[in-house]
């Protein structure tokens, strides 16, 4: 069964501003701005940055799950006078016609499309690419200032669907913005857009909660801690909103109206909740080979391709680290050359517990292998000596390596 047929089996009719029915089915929830629930932390500083951005027509919001990407963009939609066109990507959008129909339905609610465009999408043929797509792109270029949000962009995998997105990106008019949000970027020329000054980027560091925001989030779930305790918790979570929230659930307010102390049972409950979240949202969706790499390299506090190769007794770790970073799997670069990395502390804790549970002997062997390699500092020194004349031991070519990377970020 084709993807668009699957979508229409549970679709509803979308109505434009004139309440006219469209000649094809779409999933209404995919083209609506998400409703904000109560108790969410207001991201005023980031919203103001987004509202003030009038120079970069493309906005990239990429971060791991649980950093509040969708919440931030929905808050922006509430506070910006420009109309928002919202499209939530799912697996059905591998069919470019399905994606085009949802683009058309969302745009029609802002600027009505011509009947020839809608009719062509109702009976898609090869001419869609030479008639419909150029007309939609041209309409975007000449429309009133709008903001087009494409959420969960990491689910957009087909070449044809990425081409639709590229055509839209090329035609964003003055005062408008195309926002790409998700866990990882699609196959678009992000580096070229960045170099041309056409891209505004918001990443995990920008989305990380401040201690004050963390305190508001904890209070929303009924946890009242002293500010220094909140600061310590937020720092431990590295601002990851989902982890702070799960910690709040583990420290839920008691019947007497006060927060229970962070005792061993509370911490165990928090860690269990976080581990379940990471496994369901990430590890369960990854190939077994990638999960094995993540677990085995979690014995390292800092890592590069060469060190991982030595510890694992394999090759290709540098490329695997690049893929993991691109997928936003809680990998933190420690230098500007992106040679040395570390895992997010809480993510690493989950991986290490999983390794200890499923392969305790393997964990001990890997630790011994890392010691034999004499640690990351010896690997850095060796790479630095050879870097000016050949590829260094971490599999990257550069004019030299930075000084010892910071322990934390």
Q: What is the pLDDT of residue 321?
A: 93
In a domain? residue 75 = yes
Supply the pLDDT for residue 383. 55
pLDDT at 398 over 70: no
The pLDDT value recorded for residue 67 is 93
* Across 214-228, 258-272, 275-289, least confident range: 258-272
In this structure, of 56-70, 179-193, 361-375, the range with the lowest mean pLDDT score is 361-375
Query: What is the structure's pLDDT at 151?
Result: 94
Q: Using one digit for the tens of pLDDT, what is the confidence trace for 325-341?
A: 888 778 888 988 888 99
Sign of CA dihedral 69, 71, 74, 75: negative
In whole angstroms, what separates CA 269 from the centre of its chain? 26
Is residue 407 one of the residues assigned to a domain?
A: no
Cα–Cα distance for residue pair 140/341, rounded to 1 Å: 40
Is 225 within 8 Å of 258 (Cβ atoms)? Answer: no
Backbone angles phi, psi at 21, to 5 degrees: -75, 145
Residue 181 — φ and ψ, nearest 5°? -130, 140
- Give me the pLDDT at residue 268, please: 55
> Between the CA atoms of 14, 17, 19 and 23, what dihedral angle is there, to the nearest 10 degrees?
-50
| Band of pLDDT at residue 262, cut at 50, 70 and 90 | low
Domain end residue (candidates: 240, 260, 281): 281
User: Pick from 207, 228, 261: which residue ends a domain?
Assistant: 207
The verdict on 54 and 200 lying in the same domain is yes
Q: Are 193 and 83 in the same domain? A: yes
> Looking at the structure, do residues 251 and 318 belong to the same domain, yes or no?
no
Whether the Cβ atoms of residue 115 and residue 48 lie closer than 8 Å to each other: no
Same domain, 381 and 367: yes
Judged on CB neighbours under 10 Å (0-12, 13-18, 19+), 78 is exposed
**Residues 161, 139 share a domain:** yes
Residue 182: predicted pLDDT: 92
Total number of domains constituting the chain: 3
Per the CB < 8 A criterion, the answer to whether 82 and 145 are in contact is yes
Question: Which one has a higher pLDDT value, 119 or 219?
Answer: 219
Which of 24-33, 182-191, 225-234, 247-256 has maximum average pLDDT?
225-234
Higher-confidence position of 396 and 211: 211
Is the same domain home to 196 and 334?
A: no
**Average pLDDT value for residue range 154-169:** 84
Structural domain boundaries, residue 266: 211-281
Average pLDDT over every residue of 206-215: 95
Per the domain annotation, does 110 fall within a domain? yes
Query: Does pLDDT of 130 surpass 60?
Result: yes
pLDDT score of 361: 79
Q: Is residue 57 part of a domain?
A: yes
Same domain? 229 vs 292: no
- Which residues are within 8 A (CB) of 364 and not within 5 positions of it... i.e. 6 or more apart? none
Query: Tokens 């031991």 belong to which residue?
Result: 393
- What average pLDDT score do residues 379-394 get? 51
**Residue 40 pLDDT more than 60?**
yes
Q: Give a yes or no: residue 67 inside a domain.
A: yes
Listed residue (303, 305, 307, 320) closest to 397, CA to CA: 305
State how far the Cα of 130 lies from the Cα of 376, in Å rounded to an integer. Answer: 55
Let me know whether 290 and 269 are in one domain: no
Last residue of a domain, one of 266, 281, 296: 281
pLDDT surpasses 80 at 177: yes
In this predicted structure, the answer to whether residue 133 has a pLDDT above a threshold of 90 is no
Instruction: Work out the pLDDT band at 4, boundaries 50, 70, 90.
Output: very low
Residue showing tokens 């010691």: 371
| Angstrom distance (rounded) from CA 108 to CA 140 | 11
| pLDDT score recorded for residue 39 | 76
Helix (H) or strand (E) holding 86: strand 84-88
53 shares its domain with 113: yes
Mean pLDDT of all residues in 94-121: 85
Q: How many other β-carbons are positioned within 10 Å of the β-carbon of residue 315?
A: 12
Contact 392, 383 (CB under 8 A): yes
Whether 38 shows a pLDDT value over 60: the answer reads: yes
Report whether pLDDT(140) > 60.
yes
Q: Would residue 409 count as lying in a domain?
A: no
Nearest by Cα to 173 from 197, 146, 204, 191? 146
* pLDDT at residue 181, rounded to an integer: 94
Decide if 320 is inside a domain: yes
Cα(382)–Cα(376) distance, rounded to whole angstroms? 10
Q: Let me know how many helices (H) and strands (E) the chain has, helices first.
A: 19, 7
If asked whether residues 135 and 269 sit together in one domain, one would say no
State the pLDDT at residue 10: 33
Mean pLDDT of the chain: 79
Is 400 inside any structural domain? no
Q: What is the pLDDT of residues 290-322, one digit of tens each?
A: 999 999 999 999 989 988 988 888 889 999 999
pLDDT at res. 401: 37
If you average pLDDT over residues 198-218, what whole number do you get? 93
Q: In terms of Cα–Cα distance, which of 204, 199, 86 is closest to 146?
A: 86
Are residue 185 and residue 307 in the same domain, yes or no? no
State how beta strands 331-333 and 58-62 pair.
Answer: unpaired
The CATH number of the domain holding residue 180 is 3.40.50.300
Q: Both tokens of residue 183?
A: 């866990």
Q: Kindly state whether residues 105 and 83 are assigned to the same domain.
A: yes
Identify the residue with better confidence: 353 or 114.
353
Contact yes or no for 68/241 (Cβ under 8 A): yes
pLDDT band at 210 (very low <50, low <70, confident <90, very high): very high
């Amino acid at each position: 069964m084709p993807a668009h047929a699957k979508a229409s089996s549970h679709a509803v009719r979308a109505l434009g501003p004139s309440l006219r029915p469209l000649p094809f089915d779409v999933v209404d929830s995919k083209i609506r701005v998400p409703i904000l629930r109560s108790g969410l932390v207001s991201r005023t500083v980031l919203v103001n940055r987004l509202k003030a951005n009038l120079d970069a027509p493309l906005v990239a919001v990429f971060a791991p799950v649980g950093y509040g990407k969708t919440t931030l963009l929905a808050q922006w939609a509430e506070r910006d006078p420009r109309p928002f066109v919202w499209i939530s990507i799912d697996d059905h959008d591998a069919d470019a016609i399905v994606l085009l129909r949802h683009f058309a339905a969302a745009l029609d609610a802002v600027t009505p499309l011509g009947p020839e465009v809608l009719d062509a999408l109702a009976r898609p043929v090869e001419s869609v690419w030479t008639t419909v797509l150029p007309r939609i792109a041209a309409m975007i270029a000449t429309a009133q200032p709008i903001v087009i949000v494409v959420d969960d962009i990491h689910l957009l995998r087909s070449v044809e669907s990425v081409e639709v997105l590229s055509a839209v990106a090329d035609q964003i008019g003055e005062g408008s913005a195309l926002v790409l949000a998700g866990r990882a970027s699609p196959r678009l020329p992000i580096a070229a857009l960045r170099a041309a000054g056409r891209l505004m980027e918001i990443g995990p560091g920008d989305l990380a909660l401040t201690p004050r925001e963390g305190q508001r989030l904890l209070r929303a779930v009924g946890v009242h801690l002293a500010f220094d305790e909140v600061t310590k918790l937020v720092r431990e979570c590295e601002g990851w909103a989902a982890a702070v929230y799960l910690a709040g659930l583990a420290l839920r307010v008691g019947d007497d109206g006060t927060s229970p102390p962070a005792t061993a049972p509370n911490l165990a409950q928090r860690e269990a909740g976080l581990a379940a979240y990471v496994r369901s949202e990430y590890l369960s969706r990854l190939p077994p080979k990638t999960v094995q790499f993540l677990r085995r390299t979690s014995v390292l506090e800092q890592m590069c391709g060469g060190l991982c190769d030595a510890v694992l007794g394999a090759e290709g770790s540098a490329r695997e680290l690049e893929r993991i970073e691109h997928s936003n799997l809680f990998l933190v670069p420690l230098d500007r050359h992106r040679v040395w990395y570390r895992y997010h502390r809480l993510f690493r804790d989950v991986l290490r517990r999983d390794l200890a549970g499923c392969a305790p002997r393997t964990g001990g062997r890997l630790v011994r292998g890392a010691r034999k390699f004499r640690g990351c500092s010896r690997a850095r020194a060796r790479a630095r000596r050879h870097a000016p004349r050949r590829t260094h031991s971490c599999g990257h070519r550069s004019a030299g390596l930075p000084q010892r990377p910071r322990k934390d970020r």
